[in-house]
Structure 1
Amino acid sequence: MSNVVKSAFILFVATMISKVLGFFRDLVIGYVYGAGIVSDSYFAALNIMTIAFVSLLCVAIQSTYMPIYTSVESKEGKNKALKFTGNVINIIIIVSIFISIVGWFYTELIVKFFAAGFKGERLAITVQLTKIILFSVGIVCITYVLKSYLEIHDYFLITGLMPIPYNLSIIIAVLLSGKYGINMLAYGTVFAFFVQMIFLIPFCYKKKFKYKFNFSIKDKYIKQMGLAILPILVGASANQINSLVDKNLASTLPIGALSSLGYGYKLNIFVTGLFIATITSVIYPLFSKLGNSNNIKKLKMTLCSSINFVTLITMPISIGAFILAEPIVRILFEKGKFDASATIATSHVLAYYAIGMVATGFREVLVRVFYSLKDTKTPMKNSILCVAFNIIFNLILIKYLKAPGLALGSSISAILAAIFLMFNLRKKIGKLNGMSILLTIIKTFIAGIVMAIAVLFIFNRLNVINELLAFVVSVSIGAIVYGVLVLVLRVDSTDYIIDMLKSKLANR
């Protein structure tokens, strides 16, 4: 357990550093371009790369490569595993070249699929940027193979830090684009992906990685990987497809709506990427071991602890983001061309995304449990259900709330998807200690509401002096109030923290 905690802490710190720099990158984009045609076009072009390749194909490659590599190495040795890796890389290169060529000729069709409402100048600029960015497909996929190799060898710090060279390159490209033209945004993005890959290579070689030339699509491990990728692609696609649906519909709204939705979404995934992804990345191997050994009793206990911990962490952030959405956005983004109207629009998006934060955490944990039980069909069905709900609610809510309605639709679909997964897991393995989970939700919600009252009381009184000061002080006091209340209410997830603190004090 100590190794799991250590790995989680290392990954959390690395991810925090990367996320902070990522926010600074978005601040620079907002400062230079605000929420207008260029930012809409660039976010749409980057969105095509992110959804179609990084968040789907690359994640599927990583999820299938890791267990197969481990199996090959244990059965046939390191050299055979490296030969398999070389084969994967070579196939990626061939496929990515084909994708880039096809994408070059059909760029406008691709852009219209991802941003159906783009016309005129917005469409032209997006096509122009996308043509260039698509040439980084192979680079990104290879990067994720190298990332997987490092994580197999417990190099979580390096993989957590790999967004740093990427974000720095994007920041430089944004600043240079003012002088050298908007194409610099696309060239800078391709270069950023390349630098990210180069960043990992020395550490891979430090862990005995050697590129071995091999190309065979008939290799049994390649076939195994190919068959495994499809269900994982579908099972892991809910967030990405929902994001695509949101942004596609947002492209039909007035100029700036897509950018506001994008900024709000980035603030939302900061939480899921920093806290939820860190927890699930580290706990997944433990779920897998328990699933393989068929230790269902321990699996249920671990699941309950994981969900309660996710609730404990995300509940106050969800409530805090909802009540302080406007000052959060104003403090972070309102500079340069990012004006007050952009702040209001983005804050509404963030507030509605915040409603689904806890449910998103539940879903991510539950999906890992199904995978550990070798059940990929249920997450696939969940993805389809989640997308269907998202489309339905989006089409309804966009009429009344515009871009914020898309965020609310995503939150509602995340809640329903989490309920669906919980129900089906209970059918599969029996009772899930639901009373503990329900009590944790109720107790953390009560603590969160009291925290919110304290935060608003302090913020409103200090805001007349200075908004940043008011925000920092109110959030700090709110965190203390929440922490005290969850201890008083004896939330299940706090037991481990209390025991750890007692142990530390006893050792002094």
Structure 2
Amino acid sequence: MRVGAVARLARAAGIVLVLNLLSRVLGFVRDAAIAAQFGAGPATDAYMVAYTIPYFLQTILGMAFLTVMVPTLTAYLVRGEREEGWRVASALGSWTALSLTTLALLGMAAASLLVPVLAPGFPPEVEGLAARLTRIMFLSLPFMGTGMMISGILNAGNYFTSPALAPALSNLIIIATALFFGSRYGIEGLAVGTVVSFVAFLAVQLPDLHRMGFRYTWRLDYHHPIVRKVSLYLLPVIFSLAVNQLYLATNRFFASHLAPGSITALDVGIRLVNLPLGVFVSAVSTAVFPALSEEAARGRREAMAHLTQKGLSLVTLAVVPAAAGLIILREPLVRVVFERGAFGSAATLMTAEVVYYASWGLLAQAAQPILMRSFYALEDVRTPALAGVISVGLNAGFSAVLVRHLGHGGLALSNSLAATFYALTLYYFLKGRLPELNPSFLLRSIGLTLLAAGGMGLATWQGGRWLGLFNPLQGLWELAGRVLAVTAGSAGIFLVLAWFLGVEEVTWVKAMLLKGRRQE
């Protein structure tokens, strides 16, 4: 891979990582504010279910348009055909806004029919509340989905700042709504604030779109060959991207028959586990996708394989120690982040159980975005979709069995098992499409990282016991300080062990940070 590509990847990943970290921190502040204001009960369960379908659609459809936009527009930019690229991007943007607005109107009309499908165990009063909230939430669909399309256009042009900043602004608005308007307007006011946050998500990216030189014109151009090609790609891409959201929908279906608060525990627990995915994995996959698309457009398959392996190794370096830390410190972490106000000790224990089982699938979930983007850069959209179909079916089967024995924890474990199958299947078939991949390189990276994480885990456990992290009687701020100290110490121990064992990615991360400050 060319040095310039490495430097560009380094800068992009560094920018996205910092802003993703800000967004994720604000995301936990958001969840904590909602938990403190509304607790873990019927109202928040209704809010989570109401959030499900609009968020599912806006994330999946918006991400699908983003996913097909990056390689499509990158190919035009590589060939120097900017005007034709703007024409295709305008047509795809018009289709995005039109289709999502139509879906929003249909969803609002069908809200009372959708809620019983998602949460058949809700009593009538909670079902009615969830339906009202769903109608409000559907208003956000065109704004969030179109905003993600704009993110794809900007990423293709190597603009990463405003797309990564947009989620942080969205979280800030939801936090303000919960804290300042929650007691007055209740859970319905929170739903309105959520819609406003997605309007801001779109608006904050518009100035960079202008700086990029993009000129939007309303057009549909359905007969344009690239527009038609992209439209054929969308359905399999949508399903592939929907896999994790379908896991969550399955969770809510089964959890609606369990004790009140089970859906909320699953949601907030999985969000905690997903923190490394949102910070590190998203940064790497966002930065690597335009680079993969460029190398594919130039026919450089060895460079593609190198980028894929580097991406997988980097996310392994980030999420394996994170998973170990989450498993060991699950209860004190949940207590620090969520336990206040109406979110009590019982909710903490329920959520910690989710964190334990979900953490075992963290590496598999981290690998999926890198592997899928490699397929998309190769213009193969069918393989991830077919593997995803099987994965979703397995998750439903695992859930039906494990929920009887482990309750809501069994649902989180089912997600982990299905995600592991999905990642292994994707890698197997990608090796067939990209023989330049070197499995021994990846296995060595994973093995050494596991050894370093194992040593770190022992130190984390001993440090936690010594500082009394597992004592539920500590005050919040005292516990938070000790958790932070143990986390920082554990991270340092892991990096030292990884360096001692010769994990190549530790050196590369150092180089990435340095190159991020230099000109190519």
Which interval holds the TM-score relative to the shorter structure? over 0.9
Per-residue CA deviations over 1:123-168 (Å, capped at 9, x if unaligned) read 1111000011112222222212222232233221111111133112
Per-residue CA deviations over 1:427-475 (Å, capped at 9, x if unaligned) read 3344743233223222222221221111111211212774233322222
Q: What are the residue-to-residue correspondences of 1:125-136 with 2, within 5 Å?
A: 125-136=129-140
**In the alignment, residue 231 of structure 1 is paired with which amino acid?**
P
Per-residue CA deviations over 1:375-417 (Å, capped at 9, x if unaligned) read 2221112111211221111111111111111111111111122
Which residue of the partner structure matches residue 458 of structure 2? 453
- Give the conservation status (yes or no) of the 8 Å contact 1:132–1:186: yes
- Give the deviation of 1:323 after TM superposition: 0.7
Given the superposition, is the C-alpha separation of residues 341 and 128 from structure 1 closer, same or farther in structure 2, using an over 3 Å criterion? same
Which residue of the partner structure matches residue 482 of structure 2? 470
Which residue of the partner structure matches residue 115 of structure 1? 119
> Does residue 261 of the first structure (1) align with residue 266 of the second (2)?
yes
**In the alignment, residue 167 of structure 2 is paired with which amino acid?**
P
> Does residue 172 of the first structure (1) align with residue 176 of the second (2)?
yes
- Give the deviation of 1:363 after TM superposition: 2.2
TM-score, normalization by structure 2: 0.90
- Give the conservation status (yes or no) of the 8 Å contact 1:86–1:213: yes
Partners of 2:441 and 2:225 in 1: CA distance: 45
Choose which of 141, 150, 157 in structure 1 pairs with 2:145.
141
- Give the conservation status (yes or no) of the 8 Å contact 2:59–2:145: no
Partners of 1:311 and 1:82 in 2: CA distance: 37
Which residue of the partner structure matches residue 342 of structure 1? 347
Given the superposition, is the C-alpha separation of residues 287 and 246 from structure 1 closer, same or farther in structure 2, using an over 3 Å criterion? same
Choose which of 426, 445, 449 in structure 1 pairs with 2:431.
426
Q: What are the residue-to-residue correspondences of 1:39-438 with 2, within 5 Å?
A: 39-51=44-56, 53-71=57-75, 78-175=82-179, 176-430=181-435, 432-438=437-443
- Give the deviation of 1:344 after TM superposition: 0.5
- Give the deviation of 1:169 after TM superposition: 1.8
> Which of 165-174 and 8-17 deviates more?
165-174
- Give the conservation status (yes or no) of the 8 Å contact 2:320–2:449: yes
**In the alignment, residue 370 of structure 2 is paired with which amino acid?**
V
Which residue of the partner structure matches residue 505 of structure 2? 493
Given the superposition, is the C-alpha separation of residues 306 and 151 from structure 1 closer, same or farther in structure 2, using an over 3 Å criterion? closer
Partners of 1:225 and 1:362 in 2: CA distance: 25
What SS class does the counterpart of residue 450 from structure 2 fall into? helix
Partners of 1:216 and 1:369 in 2: CA distance: 28
Given the superposition, is the C-alpha separation of residues 198 and 43 from structure 1 closer, same or farther in structure 2, using an over 3 Å criterion? same
- Give the conservation status (yes or no) of the 8 Å contact 2:73–2:89: yes
Partners of 1:66 and 1:305 in 2: CA distance: 20
Partners of 1:343 and 1:63 in 2: CA distance: 37
TM-score, normalization by structure 1: 0.92
Given the superposition, is the C-alpha separation of residues 312 and 455 from structure 1 closer, same or farther in structure 2, using an over 3 Å criterion? same
Given the superposition, is the C-alpha separation of residues 363 and 103 from structure 1 closer, same or farther in structure 2, using an over 3 Å criterion? closer
- Give the conservation status (yes or no) of the 8 Å contact 1:235–1:380: yes
- Give the conservation status (yes or no) of the 8 Å contact 2:321–2:453: yes
- Give the conservation status (yes or no) of the 8 Å contact 1:35–1:256: yes
- Give the conservation status (yes or no) of the 8 Å contact 2:10–2:515: no
- Give the deviation of 1:16 after TM superposition: 1.0
- Give the conservation status (yes or no) of the 8 Å contact 2:182–2:189: yes
Q: What are the residue-to-residue correspondences of 1:15-54 with 2, within 5 Å?
A: 15-51=20-56, 53-54=57-58
Given the superposition, is the C-alpha separation of residues 487 and 191 from structure 1 closer, same or farther in structure 2, using an over 3 Å criterion? same
> Which of 274-283 and 215-224 deviates more?
215-224
- Give the deviation of 1:188 after TM superposition: 1.5
Given the superposition, is the C-alpha separation of residues 187 and 342 from structure 1 closer, same or farther in structure 2, using an over 3 Å criterion? same
- Give the conservation status (yes or no) of the 8 Å contact 1:456–1:474: no
Unaligned 5+ runs, structure 2? 1-5
**In the alignment, residue 387 of structure 2 is paired with which amino acid?**
N
- Give the conservation status (yes or no) of the 8 Å contact 2:357–2:409: yes
- Give the conservation status (yes or no) of the 8 Å contact 1:166–1:196: yes
- Give the deviation of 1:191 after TM superposition: 1.5
Partners of 1:76 and 1:483 in 2: CA distance: 43
Given the superposition, is the C-alpha separation of residues 428 and 68 from structure 1 closer, same or farther in structure 2, using an over 3 Å criterion? closer
Partners of 1:311 and 1:421 in 2: CA distance: 16
- Give the conservation status (yes or no) of the 8 Å contact 1:386–1:417: yes
Partners of 1:111 and 1:129 in 2: CA distance: 10
> Which of 327-336 and 378-387 deviates more?
378-387
Per-residue CA deviations over 1:314-370 (Å, capped at 9, x if unaligned) read 111001001110000001110100100000000110111111111112222222222
* Aligned-CA RMSD value: 2.5
Greater RCO, CA 8 A, separation 6+: 2
Given the superposition, is the C-alpha separation of residues 85 and 449 from structure 1 closer, same or farther in structure 2, using an over 3 Å criterion? closer
Partners of 1:371 and 1:96 in 2: CA distance: 23
Partners of 2:162 and 2:513 in 1: CA distance: 29
Per-residue CA deviations over 1:111-133 (Å, capped at 9, x if unaligned) read 22322332312211110000111
Given the superposition, is the C-alpha separation of residues 112 and 312 from structure 1 closer, same or farther in structure 2, using an over 3 Å criterion? same
What SS class does the counterpart of residue 504 from structure 2 fall into? coil
- Give the deviation of 1:97 after TM superposition: 3.7
- Give the conservation status (yes or no) of the 8 Å contact 1:116–1:248: yes
- Give the deviation of 1:224 after TM superposition: 2.8
